[in-house]
Structure 1
Amino acid sequence: MTAKGFASLLAVSMCSLAVSGADYTLADNGKPNARIQSNPNPAAPEFMAVTELQEYIRKISGAHVKRTTYPGVFWRSTSDTPETVEILPVTLENGKHLLPDAVKAKLEATDNPDAFYIKSDASGGKFIFIAGKTPQAVLYGTLAFIEDYLGVRWFHAGEEGEYCPKNKTIRLGEIDDFRQPWMAQRTMGAWTKSVLPFDFENFETWLTRSKYNWNINHAYSDKTRLQLDKATCGNKPIGGGGHLTFEQAVPKKLFAAHPEYFPLKKDKRVCEERSQRCLSNPAVQKMVIDYVTRHTAYGGKYSISYHDSTDGWCMCPECVKMGTGDTTGKFSYTTLAHRFSSLVSEAVLKRNPDAKLTYDMYSQFRPFPDIKGFQYDKRMLGVYCPHQRCYVHAFDDPNSDCNKFFHDEFMRWKKLGTKIGFFEYYCSANSPYTPMEYVLAKDMQFFKKMNFTSWHEDCTYPDAQYPLSNWPLYWAAAKLMWNADLDIGRLMDEAYTLYYGAAAEPMKKYQKYRRELWETAPGHALYGGPKRYAYCLTVPGAEKRLLGYLEEAKKLADGDRILLKRIGNDEFFLKKYWIAGAEELKKVSAGQNHIPVAKANGKITIDGVLDEDAWRGASFVTGFKDMKTKEEPIEETRIRVLYDSDNWYVGIEAMTEHAWGKLVANTAERDGNVWQDDSVETFFQPPNTGDSFQLIVNSVGTLWDGKMHQKDQYDSKAEIKTRVLKDRYVIEMRIPVKAMGRDSIGNGEVWKMHFYRNIHNLQPPNNTEGIGLDATPPHEQTRYRSAAVGKNVFMNGNFAEVAPVKENEKKNYTSPEFVKHWSGNSVGIVKGANNRNTVEMKHWMASWMDLTPARDYPQILRGEIAASGKGALDSHISGCVRKPDDKKAFGHEIKLKVIEKGVLSDKMQTFPFEVEIPPYFQGYVYLYSPDAKIDYITGSLSPKK
């Protein structure tokens, strides 16, 4: 928006405002002072433009400004005054003798069909021209005028999504505003259920007002004139192809007579759900070429693509030959697919040079093909589909392992020089009610730099209510695709000011804090990934703080129905996703039988304030018990653990909400009897040693440190700061590992840790409490928990998550439920308190290993299995090496020994292991025993040195 546009908005919002130059009064104290001049034979977008403008002037001021058709001089000569403003929404063609020369020149100079120019002119009267390159551009210009000069906003569909100011006088200053979108195609995938709770027609109207293109429809059937006009206003092109390419061009009904058109699988032609076709068959090629040529003859777009299938490809000798790379001599689906797409597109463009064709970079055919001199025609559009990119980080963030892979792959495709577009999966990333618009803003700047021409968000998930819960994302996207340089912070601040009105102050704090929680939560947000929002409320007091902002906002709403509905939506989604997700996570975390540790990315300042992003993103250690009762303790203890290559960092919040008196802190001298004060004890046991290092710290920072009970054998060199707050005392520590005899902390290492708290200020007569993790005494090393450095490759390795056993598999299990992500024979789950579950195994159990992202170098897997029982415990890993484009299906080709004949006893013990994992390896882990109880399995990877 220009500065004058923003001044105009203020004029509407704050009554009339003095402006420089001429003023243009559209309504004066509720009376009309303008006339809208309309094309007598308007295209659908032109008609919508003038009716929208007329309606919103009325809604704002109460004035009924008339619509008349050209020529306007008749009306001016008979009834209007010299002060009457003539508003002319007009195309370049129809206005070539009306428009100021500067407006004509600007529009003639651009080839962007959506370009418009809003220009006031006081020469010979008072005019506001809304000139568009096309009828569609006239509509977009008029909608921009309604938004940025009359002050209306359409944040989302539905009545509560609209902001419309009320003022009987509308007075504008001079306007000189040329705009054109840098992103040519701006679409969202949607259908009736994915846009709930909105009516689909209302949602389509919102798309039009937000200057999105309606999503491509494969065909119109029995549409009314009104429906066709609405689609035209939505700038909705006819399109076809995509995953349905073969269903349209080579339909399944041909299989009976022509099985040779269909894929060969295991020496048999098949026609299955999502089967591709025999791409090397000349008849198939001709049918696809003919179909696409006929389709594009009508001006429609066509995406030459394939079924969303991993095993539907033809493996006949000719297709294998077609998919064999020129440089490697190896088959790949992507080489096969893009050879076929290139063949079809060349033939279609030869017949119809104006054909609008798209090729996809998707899933198995997303890697760059191994074809010498490969090139698509420059007239084509390539759509890149980044499944598994992370939406916590910008696409071009070099520090994001997830995104760097896709970024590098994309840049190779970009060198082809065709038009390029993006197919996004925000809604596929388990991300309802998440503030992702800030990452989107960074992405849009990158997309503009890369000269993108299309952006599509796959908002097709039913019942998740993404268009409402994530409305800031889609509203911001609409703005950024016209101007990628908008300041997203200022944009959202203005949005929240208008959207929340009288309650804006607490709701801005609410949204700011919600963003902070989201951006510092652990984990990724990607296609099919974890529910990252569940981790946002692990920060102490976060839920209470957010709900407090909402309560304050509801009071300020003062009975305003629309405003209460908006705040109510936030409260509904907060509870449905964040709070419910946190509760579910809490149940699972209660089964924690390890110490979660997170890498400290960035500097940690030891100041007793746990405010770095790394602290906020770290998981809490859970499972503290009263040593006497073995029940939940009176006071809560919150501990998080970080590490870097040289140090452990421990952040402790010792809650004192039930304190009867002051904290006991009588020990001031180093290595005094600190345990007699209110204090916390921390224990470290490095890998493969029996040594235990202990630190005890009280609320004023006094330290006792020792090795195996002996204070003289260990000087920790620890850096410690404490703070005493109203409801807690905080301890922040940096503990170098060099003093423990270690050179560094390595990825894949498994340490042992333990925590114990001494409380001395509770209500008499039981004024003391000893709290141990798992009710473990301070020096019982055999019961210390493991802390694996790096990601645990064994999914649900603590067995906290369980699911019902399928009916047809019950014969293999001894319990009605079993561990998620695991299977087995003669196995069952023994449920423990707080999801501390154990597996009873009398034969075997197995699980697929999470070895992503795949690496092109060997890695070392270090970990341990905690088990008890009789006889022996054996374990191995079985799988294969598969590079990204390898055509072979998974196979058990490589066997890696993990544990061989580990001797079990009645006492739970740990069995450490170290295994070399080859590059690009994938596979399962297997455990075997005739009689064992498995407590957990953990392991993480590090590069082989």
Structure 2
Amino acid sequence: MRPLVLALAILVLSAVAGRADAIVLVRDGRPAATIVIRDAAFRAAPAVPARNVAGDPDAKIKLAALELQRYVRRISGAELAIASDAQPVTGAAVLVGPSRRTEAFGVAIPDGLTPERVEEGFVIVARGDTLLLAGNDAGPYYGSYYAVADFLHRLGVRWYMPGAFGEIVPARATIALDDVEARERPSFRLRTWWSHMSPEMEADELVWKLRNKMQIAEDQILAIPRDSSLRAFLPADLLATRPDYFARRADGTVDPHFPNLSSAEAARVVAQRLKAAIGTRSSIGFAPDDGTPADHRPESLALSQRFTDLLGRDGVPADRSISEEWFAFVNRVAAEVAKDHPRVIVTTNGYANRHLPPEGLSLHPSLSVMFAAIWADTIKPLDAPNSWHGAVQARLIRRWTELNRRVWIYGYTSTMLVSALTPVPTVRRVARMMRELRDRGVVGFLDETRQAYMEHGIPTYYLRARLEWNADLDVGATLEEFYRLWYGPAAAPARAFWDAIEDRLLASPLLGHEDRILPYVYTDELVATLERHVTGAEQRARAERHRRHVAVDRHVLEHLKAYRAMHAAEFAADWAEAVRQADVMFHHRRALHTIDRFFYTPETKDERTRYRSAWYWNLTDRRALYESLRDRTSGRLGTLVALAPRTAAFRLDPADIGTHERWHAPDHDRRAWRALDGTVPYYAQGLLDARGVPQHRGAMWYAFEVDVPASVTGRPVWLFAPAVVTEAWVWIDGRYVGHRPYVDPYIRPAPLHFDVTRFLTPGRKNLIAVRVHTGMNLTQAADGFQGRLLLYAPNPPR
């Protein structure tokens, strides 16, 4: 729904203070108006924003009044009194929230709460000596608080980041305004994200969300179909008496956590338990366990259309899409629920092996689908010409919205799901897709994210929040204002810094959502450009506040330099230097954390703090690998025997005949093979089309000639390579060493690690041939080799 604005007006501040028709809130630093709220709100304690807590309307109005009082005091030094509508108030009044005074004022205020959750909104009306700031405060809505926040925004207050560091508060001795009437409703009915963070950070972020008109009680807008929530409605204890309710795994065993998708009775049981749990809810959701559950019963397989999932591999039963049979089951559940609860919305997810829209059926009208494209590139806009991921995702969303009128997106706005927290701003992606998604009928967003502003930059999240309320926002003006207010005289070079990073991300042909692509996106030329911009910003910044903001960018850049140096050391097999550069990265992270904890929260493996900055394959993990390899090759735990050349002889094997033709044999003619850098993904070396599609999937071969010194005769020797994706087979001088099983492309480390003592001939060159298979999936863009192959000799046990 487009924001409805009856009259757009800039609130003129001190310039109108002398006019008779202007309402004056503060004159020359002295209060000139009273905040009036209804008596129940006046007597209530203010709401304490909490995730998935709707809050009491009176408490929310009290919070809004206190927010207005606090920021007017900070702007002008004057404190406006807060009064109850049960007591007489003379002079100018600011009416916050609905009250007896607003009834007399005669302005319709949004109200009501239906299952569709389309009643949200607020009004700002200034007329005579009265200013009305009120909205719909029913259920999960914070309409009156939004009205106050929007009014303060018009006065020049900005909340660019959670907490005090992210605030901009102007100074005004006089606050006055002409008559104005504005009425707004949101573009999307669901507007939020979540991440793991400390309670203190979450408290700051919840308030920040409200100040930027996001939501904090998402489960009360549309019920979240959380992973494993299905277990509550088809409990495993039924297995003893009704095994026919449950799915069969591929090996024939019963899956106690997934239903028999062909069973009408199982669907009826799930529906009965859903109905029992509804109570006063307007929506209820369910979803299976995370991952790719499936039912391999013949009756359920008969419903399948055998489409391969976008994350799947052709011919692998576990990788097929189950959308047809899953949504047939969900339809049965929804129809049963609707018999007794026709207005209740039933939510489920289109995620993992269920994210493809079903081709052979329609969806029940009471359903709502949460679409989650975990496979998709997170950097480029959906309409980027060099992103086939974006084009496919856009078409999938369009089809889902044709099938269902309540589609919302579970997005991955942490951008890099596997990350070393280098800068990945996505301002242009956000700016270009919000209006498109609104116009296609998407009803909102619940995104999975990470509070690491050093990674995505400040404008990315701020702009996203503002666009989720108003998809027609003037993005150019919003960004110009941000850089001007945040950096002052350093605005131009600071903006050029972040724009240059995003320019490079968008220009790169590489797609993905793991930072395994980023060492090849960040270039020497980019870093030189960034250095010039940061230096220019440092020279222009004068005020302490602006210098501090520029210092953040300096740390981001130095962290990026260390990241590139760390990978350069890794690809040179200089493990000690890689450890040192990881420590440099940690140094800059600590500095950013000292400036503000939202830039970076120290990473840990403690489950209690999982995901606070980066959890899987984070910098701590990488440093540990480098340290281990340093110790294995430097004498502490072992010695380096030989380092294979960085460049390998390489050949694609589209017909998969290399093993049979013995391409691994020493006497095989490799003169037609090409030279390939073994530290760069094979597809990034001339094997991508214009849309970023890898031009090969299947088998390919790497061959290395390695000098093995005679001095290792009689010593055990191991072969190691840190990342070979997705599956590998190894020969030395034509003798078969072994097989490294399939691992998904995102997994790190993905090593080759074999005891090759009996296969080596010390004192001469040895041919190490590796058959690598990408897996039959182009979406994940398997890398092949992404690191140096080496031989090392462990020290003898003491």
1:21 positional shift: 7.7
Which whole-Å CA distance do the structure 1 matches of 2:222 and 2:7 have between them? Answer: 39
Structure 1 residues 798 and 557, CA gap change in structure 2 (3 angstroms)? farther
1:542 positional shift: 2.5
Matching residue of 1:571: 554
1:205 positional shift: 1.4
Conservation of the 8 A alpha-carbon contact between 2:287 and 2:348: yes
Which whole-Å CA distance do the structure 1 matches of 2:6 and 2:480 have between them? Answer: 17
Q: For residue 97 of structure 2, give the secondary structure of its aligned residue in structure 1.
A: strand
Matching residue of 1:438: 428
Conservation of the 8 A alpha-carbon contact between 2:126 and 2:132: yes
Within a 5 Å distance, the mapping from 1:817-828 to structure 2 comes to 817-821=720-724
Q: Once the two structures are superposed, what CA deviation does each residue of 1:358-416 show, in whole Å capped at 9, x if it has no partner?
A: 23221211223242xx2223343222212233333321345521222222233222222
Letter in 1 for 2:230: F
Q: Equivalent of 2:500, from 513, 523, 529? A: 513
Q: For residue 242 of structure 1, give the secondary structure of its aligned residue in structure 2.
A: coil
Q: Equivalent of 1:476, from 442, 445, 463? A: 463
Greater shift in the superposed pair: 181-190 or 205-214: 205-214
Which whole-Å CA distance do the structure 2 matches of 1:483 and 1:422 have between them? Answer: 17
Structure 1 residues 151 and 95, CA gap change in structure 2 (3 angstroms)? same
Conservation of the 8 A alpha-carbon contact between 1:368 and 1:413: yes
Which whole-Å CA distance do the structure 1 matches of 2:175 and 2:453 have between them? Answer: 35
Conservation of the 8 A alpha-carbon contact between 1:305 and 1:341: no
Letter in 2 for 1:85: A
State yes or no: 1:321 paired with 2:295. no
Structure 1 residues 589 and 5, CA gap change in structure 2 (3 angstroms)? farther
Q: When you count helix as a share of all residues, which structure comes out higher?
A: 2
Matching residue of 2:229: 245
1:506 positional shift: 4.1
1:289 positional shift: 0.8
Conservation of the 8 A alpha-carbon contact between 1:87 and 1:129: yes
Which whole-Å CA distance do the structure 1 matches of 2:425 and 2:454 have between them? Answer: 13
Q: Equivalent of 1:213, from 212, 215, 220? A: 215
Conservation of the 8 A alpha-carbon contact between 1:752 and 1:787: no
Q: Equivalent of 2:134, from 122, 131, 145? A: 131
Letter in 2 for 1:25: V
Q: Equivalent of 1:302, from 284, 300, 303? A: 284
Letter in 2 for 1:572: H
Which whole-Å CA distance do the structure 1 matches of 2:413 and 2:703 have between them? Answer: 30
Matching residue of 2:443: 453
1:579 positional shift: 2.1
Which whole-Å CA distance do the structure 2 matches of 1:571 and 1:520 have between them? Answer: 24
Conservation of the 8 A alpha-carbon contact between 1:259 and 1:269: no
State yes or no: 1:289 paired with 2:278. no
Q: For residue 535 of structure 1, give the secondary structure of its aligned residue in structure 2.
A: coil
Q: Equivalent of 2:66, from 30, 41, 51? A: 51
Letter in 2 for 1:581: Y
Structure 1 residues 813 and 392, CA gap change in structure 2 (3 angstroms)? farther
Within a 5 Å distance, the mapping from 1:188-227 to structure 2 comes to 188-193=193-198, 199-214=201-216, 216=218
Conservation of the 8 A alpha-carbon contact between 2:158 and 2:168: yes
Matching residue of 2:338: 349
Letter in 1 for 2:228: L
Q: Equivalent of 1:490, from 463, 473, 477? A: 477
Conservation of the 8 A alpha-carbon contact between 1:543 and 1:579: no
Q: Equivalent of 2:127, from 121, 124, 137? A: 121
Structure 1 residues 348 and 265, CA gap change in structure 2 (3 angstroms)? same
Letter in 2 for 1:86: A
Q: Once the two structures are superposed, what CA deviation does each residue of 1:627-676 show, in whole Å capped at 9, x if it has no partner?
A: xxxxxxxxxxxxxxxxxxxxxxxxxxxxxxxxxxxxxxxxxxxxxxxxxx
Which whole-Å CA distance do the structure 2 matches of 1:788 and 1:376 have between them? Answer: 43
Q: For residue 117 of structure 1, give the secondary structure of its aligned residue in structure 2.
A: strand
1:206 positional shift: 1.3
**Unmatched segments (≥5 aa) in structure 2:** 42-56, 308-316, 575-650, 652-671, 678-683, 689-693, 705-714, 746-762, 792-798
1:820 positional shift: 1.3
Matching residue of 1:358: 347
Matching residue of 1:168: 173
Structure 1 residues 875 and 302, CA gap change in structure 2 (3 angstroms)? same
Q: For residue 147 of structure 1, give the secondary structure of its aligned residue in structure 2.
A: helix
Structure 1 residues 841 and 788, CA gap change in structure 2 (3 angstroms)? farther
Which whole-Å CA distance do the structure 2 matches of 1:923 and 1:34 have between them? Answer: 65
Q: For residue 522 of structure 2, give the secondary structure of its aligned residue in structure 1.
A: helix
Letter in 2 for 1:180: R
Which whole-Å CA distance do the structure 2 matches of 1:412 and 1:752 have between them? Answer: 44
Letter in 2 for 1:479: R
1:547 positional shift: 3.7
CA RMSD of aligned residues (A): 4.6
1:283 positional shift: 5.2
Q: For residue 294 of structure 1, give the secondary structure of its aligned residue in structure 2.
A: helix
Conservation of the 8 A alpha-carbon contact between 1:304 and 1:359: yes
State yes or no: 1:186 paired with 2:191. yes
Q: Equivalent of 2:80, from 65, 70, 91? A: 65
Which whole-Å CA distance do the structure 2 matches of 1:377 and 1:825 have between them? Answer: 49
Within a 5 Å distance, the mapping from 1:615-634 to structure 2 comes to none
Structure 1 residues 94 and 581, CA gap change in structure 2 (3 angstroms)? farther
Q: For residue 406 of structure 1, give the secondary structure of its aligned residue in structure 2.
A: helix
State yes or no: 1:145 paired with 2:158. no
1:250 positional shift: 2.4
Matching residue of 1:556: 542
State yes or no: 1:263 paired with 2:247. yes
- TM-score under structure 2 length normalisation: 0.67
1:450 positional shift: 0.8
Within a 5 Å distance, the mapping from 1:371-770 to structure 2 comes to 371=360, 374-397=361-384, 399-430=386-417, 432=421, 433-459=423-449, 461=450, 465-466=452-453, 469-501=456-488, 503-526=490-513, 530-531=517-518, 535=522, 537-539=524-526, 541-552=528-539, 556-558=542-544, 560=545, 563-576=546-559, 578-587=560-569
Which whole-Å CA distance do the structure 1 matches of 2:282 and 2:531 have between them? Answer: 53
1:798 positional shift: 7.8
Conservation of the 8 A alpha-carbon contact between 1:880 and 1:923: yes
Q: For residue 459 of structure 2, give the secondary structure of its aligned residue in structure 1.
A: helix
Conservation of the 8 A alpha-carbon contact between 1:537 and 1:579: no
Conservation of the 8 A alpha-carbon contact between 1:841 and 1:934: no
1:66 positional shift: 0.8
Conservation of the 8 A alpha-carbon contact between 1:423 and 1:458: yes
Q: When you count strand as a share of all residues, which structure comes out higher?
A: 1
State yes or no: 1:369 paired with 2:358. yes
Structure 1 residues 387 and 470, CA gap change in structure 2 (3 angstroms)? same
Q: Equivalent of 2:325, from 327, 331, 336? A: 336
Conservation of the 8 A alpha-carbon contact between 1:793 and 1:850: no
Q: Equivalent of 1:99, from 99, 105, 119? A: 105
1:107 positional shift: 11
1:844 positional shift: 4.7
Q: For residue 721 of structure 2, give the secondary structure of its aligned residue in structure 1.
A: strand
Q: Equivalent of 2:93, from 72, 86, 101? A: 86
Which whole-Å CA distance do the structure 2 matches of 1:450 and 1:333 have between them? Answer: 25
Conservation of the 8 A alpha-carbon contact between 2:157 and 2:168: yes
Structure 1 residues 46 and 875, CA gap change in structure 2 (3 angstroms)? closer
Which whole-Å CA distance do the structure 1 matches of 2:260 and 2:465 have between them? Answer: 41
Q: Which structure has the larger Rg over C-alpha atoms?
A: 1
Which whole-Å CA distance do the structure 2 matches of 1:883 and 1:302 have between them? Answer: 36
Which whole-Å CA distance do the structure 2 matches of 1:420 and 1:4 have between them? Answer: 31
Structure 1 residues 261 and 95, CA gap change in structure 2 (3 angstroms)? farther
Which whole-Å CA distance do the structure 2 matches of 1:527 and 1:753 have between them? Answer: 23
Higher relative contact order (CA 8 A, sep 6+): 2
Q: For residue 104 of structure 2, give the secondary structure of its aligned residue in structure 1.
A: coil
Structure 1 residues 441 and 20, CA gap change in structure 2 (3 angstroms)? farther
